């Protein structure tokens, strides 16, 4: 989960201990040649109301332009 305290580190690289569903989704995206993947808890700074407001306003566009939409429950 991205927070203001780890944002700088996550910008350089993601942690090795990502949840299995995230790793699986990233591997599938790579296998399909999809260069980008949107994972809300990584792409939105979770403890920033400003970032939530900004990114939430773009979510419809992100999902509308997505080539696929795997979901995790």
Q: How many domains does the chain have?
A: 1
User: Is 11 within a domain?
Assistant: yes
User: Is 42 within a domain?
Assistant: yes
User: Is 2 within a domain?
Assistant: no
- Condensed to tens digits (0 to 9), the pLDDT of residues 1-49 reads 888 888 888 777 776 788 999 888 888 888 998 888 888 888 899 999 9
Range of the domain at 20: 7-64
**pLDDT at position 73 over 70:** no
User: Is 70 within a domain?
Assistant: no
> For residue 60, what pLDDT is reported?
86
User: Is 69 within a domain?
Assistant: no
Nearest to residue 28, comparing CAs of 68, 66, 57?
68
User: Is 72 within a domain?
Assistant: no
Torsion, CA 53, CA 60, CA 65, CA 35, rounded to 10: 40
User: Is 39 within a domain?
Assistant: yes
């Amino acid at each position: 989960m991205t927070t203001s305290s780890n944002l700088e580190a996550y910008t350089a690289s993601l942690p090795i201990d990502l949840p299995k569903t995230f790793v699986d989704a990233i591997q599938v995206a790579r296998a399909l040649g999809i260069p980008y993947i949107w994972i809300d808890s990584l792409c939105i700074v979770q403890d920033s109301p400003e970032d939530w407001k900004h990114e939430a306003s773009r979510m419809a566009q992100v999902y509308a332009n997505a080539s696929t939409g795997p979901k995790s429950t």
